[in-house]
Structure 1
């Protein structure tokens, strides 16, 4: 038996070609924490709500840069889902 303490990025490893197993090969036994996410902008940004941000991001000439924890991270996936 093996016990793993991991973050949600474990679920992406197979899809990135970094592991020969998937999350379906594991049985969760406990959740130790939850990592809430947020969308944060500079204090002088023109948006004060997520609705304003998304409306501007949908414009054809939008030039919005996003920072996250890196390719394949849960926060990268969250940013990609928001972009979608």
Structure 2
């Protein structure tokens, strides 16, 4: 639950992406906790599908950072959402 809250409240792009990944892992644990073979299979499928989605999310995050860094006077500030929204 904390990682889901961290995704929404994070101002830093790196922390946000790491929290999304942690949310995926904790959710996969909850899917597979039941202990049956079918729930373990579902947890692995969930991890595989979410890994593809998180990879696309990482690509989008890199694109946002690259575009923001190119138009901001201080490129290192492009990692913060509050600074990106000011531009």
TM-score range, shorter chain: under 0.3
What TM-score do you get using the length of structure 1 for normalisation?
0.24
What TM-score do you get using the length of structure 2 for normalisation?
0.24
